[in-house]
Structure 1
Amino acid sequence: MIDVFLTVDVEVWCDGWRDIDAKFPSAFQRYIYGPTFRGDYGLPYQLHQLQEHGLTGVFFVEPLFSTRFGLERLSEILSLIREKDHEVQLHMHTEWVDESNEPLLDNISGKKQFLRYFSLKEQTILIRAGMNLIESAGGPSVNAFRAGSFGFNTETLRALAANHIAFDSSYNASMFGLDSGVSPAVPLVEPVECEGVYEYPMTVFHGGTRSLRHVQITACSSREMEGLLWQALESERKAFVILSHNFELLDSAMNRPDEIVVARFRRLCSFLDRHRDCFRVRGFHGLTPAPVLLQPAPLTSPIWKTGLRMVEQGLRRGFR
């Protein structure tokens, strides 16, 4: 049995930083609900699919946008998730820091894209602010965190420990992981304890190309994900962390469903439902940490599956 974390980063963007007050209402509907001519394919669709298959999702919710637009919309997001009995955790995109109506930090002007660009004290303050926003909007106390765009460092873990958040899932060996300061010599692919926090890294794999790839619904075919899950089980891995986003089932114009990605998501849910005797889909609440001392090598996927995925991705681009 292996713990599988179906994680969804929940974010709202105005597709640029000009006229965001005017753009926000339509952006919120587009990113959260994903209306199309065939129905909604945003957050409620994902929640419904997970519920149909009896699976628990972990929804890392970005709350800093509400410092500009108010808690009502954040509360709406949290209500959607909690009504379906899924887990709410904390996500943070620091591009919102300088957009807040009330200053979150002293002497901040301009964009800082990644949390790692802030000092330990500033990160501690921002994480506490995010926790407070979620609780003020009717959400639960969180015990897990993911930095926006995986842009974290070891000081992030210290800031999480200071805020009594036990778990982090910001480490991604294919993006920023090796220069985060956490295990700089050996890529993390399994849980580890660091700075008083348990790090649950993104699952990554070699697919026959030079670089690692993380397991994300838009980035991996169903064949790849299923094969990697079986491989992780057979090699007695402790955890398998999958990434998605609330808007990921839409095409790039966000006005129609991405049929290939929708099919991937539904097939993944069905696969995990059928094989629940092998894969325990769960969240971080009530989790007993399972750190490992020696990190294994990343998983591998045969190159023929990579080739088929590239064909799929080409078809997706052709439909845009």
Structure 2
Amino acid sequence: MLDVFLTVDVEVWCDGWDNIDAKFPDAFKRYIYGPTSTGDYGLPYQLRQLQEHGLTAVFFVEPLFATRFGSAPLAEIVGLVREPGHEIQLHLHTEWVDESTEPLLEGITGKRQFLRYFSLQEQITLIRAGAGLIETAGGGRVNAFRAGSFGFNRETLTALSLNRIPFDSSYNASLFGPDSGVSPQILLVEPMECEGVYEYPMTVFQSGSRKLRHTQVTACSYREMEGLLWQALESRRKAFVILFHNFELLNSRMDRPDDIVVARFRKLCSFLDRHRDCFRVRGFQGLAPAPVLSQPAPLTSPLWKTGLRMLEQGLRGGFS
């Protein structure tokens, strides 16, 4: 049995930093609900699909936007996710730090895009603030974290430990993972313990083009994800972590559904529903850590699947 984590990063953006107070109401509607001429394809659509297939996902909710726009929109997101029984965890995009109406940190001017750009004490403060915002919004006490854009470092794990958050899922071997200071000599692809925190890294694979790629619904074809899940099961992997976002089923202009990605998501949900005897879709609450003693090589996907994915991405409009 393989533990599968369907993780959703829930974010709201105003598509720029000018005039954000005026832009926010429309941005919130687009990013959270995803209205189109053929229906809504945002967070509620994803929740319905998960419910239809009896699957529970982990929603890493970004709360720092509420320090600018108030707690009500955050509580609305939390309510949407919590009502069907999904798990709410913490996600931080530090681009919001200098936008807060009341300073989260002293002396911060301008953007710092990644959490890793902050000191240990600053990270402790930001994580504590984010967890408090989630709890106040009705999300309960979080026990897992993911840094925005995977921009974390080893100090992040120390900060999580000091905030009594035992799980992290910020390590991505295809992005900032190798230079995060966590497992500096060996790529991390399976759970491990570091600084008192259990790291559950993004599942990555070597594609036919020999590049590492993480398993994200917009970045992988359904054939790739299905094949990788079977491969992970057969090789007795401990965890398989998949990423998508609340707005991921929309096209880049966010004005219509991305039919290819919608189909991928629905097929993935159906696959996991059909194969419950092999794949246990779960979250971090109540999780017994399963760190491995040695890290295996990344999973692999054949060239022909890479080629088909590139064709699909081309049909989507130039996505790689």
> Which TM-score tier does this pair reach, normalised by the shorter chain?
over 0.9
**One-letter code aligned to 2:116:** R
Aligned residue in 2 for 1:235: 235
Aligned residue in 1 for 2:213: 213
Q: Secondary structure at the match of 1:160?
A: helix
Aligned residue in 2 for 1:100: 100
Aligned residue in 2 for 1:36: 36
Q: Deviations over 1:118-150 (max 9, x none)?
A: 000000000000011011111110000000000
In structure 1, distance between residues paired with 2:300 and 2:65: 38
RMSD: 0.8
**One-letter code aligned to 1:220:** C
Aligned residue in 1 for 2:195: 195
Aligned residue in 1 for 2:123: 123
Contact 2:5 2:240 in 1 (8 A): yes
Q: Secondary structure at the match of 1:138?
A: helix
Structure 1 stretches of at least 4 aligned residues deviating more than 6 Å after TM superposition: none
**One-letter code aligned to 2:3:** D
Query: How far is 1:41 from its partner?
Result: 0.2
**Length-normalised TM-score, structure 2:** 0.99
Aligned residue in 1 for 2:244: 244
**One-letter code aligned to 1:277:** D
1:149 aligns with 2:149: yes
Pairwise mapping of residues 154-193 of structure 1 onto structure 2 (< 5 A)?
154-193=154-193
Aligned residue in 1 for 2:89: 89
In structure 2, distance between residues paired with 1:57 and 1:281: 8
Q: Deviations over 1:50-75 (max 9, x none)?
A: 01000010000000000000000000
- Judged with a 3 Å threshold, the aligned counterparts in structure 2 of structure 1 residues 209 and 74 are, in CA distance, closer, same or farther, namely same
Q: Secondary structure at the match of 1:256?
A: coil
Contact 2:12 2:28 in 1 (8 A): yes
Q: Deviations over 1:178-223 (max 9, x none)?
A: 0000011211000000000000000000012242000000000000
Q: Secondary structure at the match of 1:220?
A: coil
Q: Deviations over 1:95-134 (max 9, x none)?
A: 0000000000010000000000000000000000001101
**One-letter code aligned to 1:181:** G
For structure 1, list consecutive stretches of 5 or more residues without a partner in the other structure: none
In structure 2, distance between residues paired with 1:185 and 1:245: 30
1:255 aligns with 2:255: yes
In structure 1, distance between residues paired with 2:152 and 2:43: 26
Aligned residue in 1 for 2:135: 135
Query: How far is 1:318 from its partner?
Result: 6.5
Aligned residue in 2 for 1:224: 224
**Length-normalised TM-score, structure 1:** 0.99
**One-letter code aligned to 1:174:** S
Contact 2:14 2:27 in 1 (8 A): yes
In structure 2, distance between residues paired with 1:79 and 1:143: 18
1:300 aligns with 2:300: yes
Contact 2:208 2:305 in 1 (8 A): no
For structure 2, list consecutive stretches of 5 or more residues without a partner in the other structure: none
Q: Secondary structure at the match of 2:316?
A: helix
